[in-house]
Structure 1
Amino acid sequence: MDFSSKSMISTEERLIQYLDENGEEFLRLWLESVIVHEKDINKDRVRENGYTMYLLVKRLITHPEIGVEVKKLAYKVAKERVESNGNIGEFVYNVNSGRSTTIKSIYKSGISMIDLQPIIDKIHHHFDLYCYHAVTRYTELKDLELKKKMLFINQSHNDRLSLLGQMSSSFVHEFRNPLTSVIGFVKLLKTEYPSLKYLDTIEHELDQLKFRITQFLHASRLEVVDKEEEIEMEDLLSEILTFLYPSIVDGDVDVKTTVDSTCKIIAVKDEIKQVLVNIILNSIDALKHNASNKKLAITCENKQHSIVFTISNNGPKIPEEMKEAIFEPFYTTKSLGTGIGLYVCKTLIEKHKGMIHCESNDQNTSFIIHLPMG
């Protein structure tokens, strides 16, 4: 049909008539150009959605106020793309393919460019709106999906911690009672037989075992909270190094300490002691990779109403991607590790309104603890 000879009808009516007669051809050309995966659960809706958009384009020619309908279709398609786990880039490509096919088809209508241009401008505008609404909604739905997954992961994570608590409560308390008795009898033996060999080693190993059990109790959050007290960090560090002396000697580690005598905090002493013991033991363990020159530096400084405790060793570098993960429960690089030591440290420090983080390079690995001054 030669539309240029139809002077009695409007440009809009001529164009709609042309699209009615060529609709199937338009859809065929568009379907040949789009990306549709065979495994896409919503692949059958692609043609349906394309046809709906085609009908909207026809309505647009005489009814410019179709923004609500375009948005409704965009939201529908976005939901389908999320359900099929489709690539949003492929959707945008398909939309623009539909736009291109539509415009090319209109150009062949025989209507002059001057008459067509306002209509084409409106078509471009509504295709842009369609893309905008669909991509925005797709992003919102994907974010919601991600939040649900994270909620599930966190719940699973909490379930594991709960299970750990149940397991700990069932055997750790039972294990602790006989351990306390053994430690008591060893002290009696040291009093009655001060020259008896190996008692110091036995006592140290029992204290280490008691420390590990305390870690599990803290991880399960079943330990009764002790009262806070004023702690002089210089005295606490001296006590800790005395406790760890056998491990330091066994590891052939050179320990240097610098503690500001004004450093004091209000805290639960056993909990802060547990944190420092755990990190120092980890540092000693890391230094086993060094054949020689094993150095451990411990400093405590008074900085603007807080104390900064730094424990550094010259062992292997901790990779950047691991520096946050090491504080997560059950994360460990040790073949026999539980992955709760540093998690407990972080939990206890944050309980005391402090912060702990790790810095590591090829020369040193440092664990830095900030705690409010007492």
Structure 2
Amino acid sequence: MNSLSGSTHSVEEKIIKFLEETEEDFLSLWKESIILREDDIFKDRVSGNGHQMYLLVKKSLKSSIKDEEIKELAYKVAKERVLSKSNIGEFVYNVNVGRSTVIKYIIKSGISINDLQPIIDQINDHFDRYCYHAVTRYTELKDIEIKEKMVFVNQSHKDRLSLLGQMSSSFVHEFRNPLTSVMGFVKLLKNENPALKYMDTIEHELDQLKFRITQFLHASKLEVADKNKEEILVKKLFDEITAFLYPSIVDGDVKLSMTIDPTCTIVAVKDEIKQVLVNIILNSIDALKHNNSIDRKLCIKSEVRQESILFNITNNGPEIPEETKEAIFEPFYTTKSLGTGIGLYVCKSLIEKHNGTIYCESYKNKTSFIITLPINEKKPTVD
């Protein structure tokens, strides 16, 4: 902005002279009033930056200053604020302290307020532009910093998942074959000796072990092949799952209720969708064990919404904290002492591979996992 012309030149000259005479007092008062942390690595430069802005204000009273001059100082300070990990609010506060202090000083110059008003407007304009450029640059640098951190975090996750994949391959190879043999011999024993005690329990525990092994396998190889997809009757799928988990439901003293559309179908990889639902239900049962009341409820509902089907799995266990609800779907995040932190991550990945969504809602005594999947328009005949 150009300096004032004509009769106002003498006003500007008086203000400049006054500011030069009170410069040390101004900077001392400003420094006493600002927020400056002891651990700020650039605290020794703050006074110099304030002085530079002070000089720019004086220069603007003599002649116009280019926006690039303001921007250059603003960018320099923004970079220092980012590197010092300071709060941008502190910077804005300090700038406004400088603004108000300058204006207070020129008001004391003895010049009438009518003559000062255009000068005050001009000073406010310079401070506004300075603050705008600094905050904008600060935000840009912070975004770059966050993106760089996310690249590192994502690469770290990829590295860990790669390692997990190698471990899973070895794990599955070493354990799946003997496990399959053991499960086969248990079935033979059960057929030949139907009255033999504990066989159902042994068979169930082996099925659970097989499920956990498969979970590790999916954590490293999350692919959905169209050729493996099939039309699945949702009611039948949940009947299979609850039969599989019946011992866990009884052991947890859980009251299960289901409201499932008997005609609804989806097209999906059955084993993978089954794994997701089993994992969510098992997690719900685990959560209910922390509910000391005798009324432990697990409610499963399905609801058709246009081209999608919505599954709602709700328990009345403890509330999941707000800051935890998103993190639970991240790999290796767990609140369990012996948890792996891959269960919900695998669930989310498999659901998204099926073009669906999964999220969590949690309140006092009510936690829900909501899953949506594309629905198949064709409905099979129900026997």
TM-score category (smaller protein): 0.7 to 0.9
Give 1:287-366 correspondences, 5 Å limit: 287-288=288-289, 289-290=291-292, 292-362=294-364, 364-366=366-368
- The answer to whether the 8 Å contact 1:317/1:360 transfers is yes
Q: Secondary structure at 1:369's aligned position in 2?
A: strand
Summarize the Cα distance change of 1:166–1:224 in structure 2 as closer, same or farther, 3 Å threshold: farther
Q: Secondary structure at 2:181's aligned position in 1?
A: helix
Aligned-pair identity (%):
71
* Structure 2 residue aligned with 1:159: 159
Q: Deviations over 1:137-172 (max 9, x none)?
A: 223323332333333333333333333223222323
Distance 1:47 1:172 in 2: 64
Instruction: Report the Cα offset of residue 122 of structure 1.
Output: 2.2
Amino acid at match of 1:264: T
Instruction: Report the Cα offset of residue 230 of structure 1.
Output: 1.0
- The answer to whether the 8 Å contact 2:224/2:354 transfers is no
Q: Secondary structure at 2:245's aligned position in 1?
A: helix
* Structure 1 residue aligned with 2:41: 41
TM-score by length of 2: 0.82
Instruction: Report the Cα offset of residue 285 of structure 1.
Output: 2.9
* Structure 1 residue aligned with 2:286: 285
Q: Deviations over 1:33-76 (max 9, x none)?
A: 54444433223322332332233233212212433212221221
- The answer to whether the 8 Å contact 1:30/1:97 transfers is yes
Q: Which one has the largest radius of gyration?
A: 1
Distance 2:314 2:112 in 1: 79
Distance 2:285 2:18 in 1: 83
**Residue range with higher mean Cα deviation, 58-67 or 356-365:** 356-365
Distance 1:224 1:318 in 2: 30
Q: Deviations over 1:249-295 (max 9, x none)?
A: 33343433333221111111111111222222223333334453444
TM-score by length of 1: 0.84
* Structure 2 residue aligned with 1:127: 127
Summarize the Cα distance change of 1:116–1:296 in structure 2 as closer, same or farther, 3 Å threshold: closer
Summarize the Cα distance change of 1:277–1:43 in structure 2 as closer, same or farther, 3 Å threshold: closer
Q: Deviations over 1:171-196 (max 9, x none)?
A: 23211121112112222323333333
**Residue range with higher mean Cα deviation, 17-26 or 262-271:** 17-26
Distance 2:23 2:308 in 1: 75
**Residue range with higher mean Cα deviation, 262-271 or 191-200:** 191-200
Distance 1:318 1:15 in 2: 61
Unaligned runs of 5+ in 2: 1-6, 377-383
Unaligned runs of 5+ in 1: 1-6
Residue 61 of structure 1 pairs with residue 61 of structure 2? yes
Give 1:1-374 correspondences, 5 Å limit: 11-13=11-13, 16=16, 23-24=23-24, 26-106=26-106, 116-221=116-221, 225=225, 227-288=228-289, 289-290=291-292, 292-362=294-364, 364-374=366-376
Instruction: Report the Cα offset of residue 77 of structure 1.
Output: 1.5
**Residue range with higher mean Cα deviation, 93-102 or 70-79:** 93-102
- The answer to whether the 8 Å contact 1:74/1:131 transfers is yes
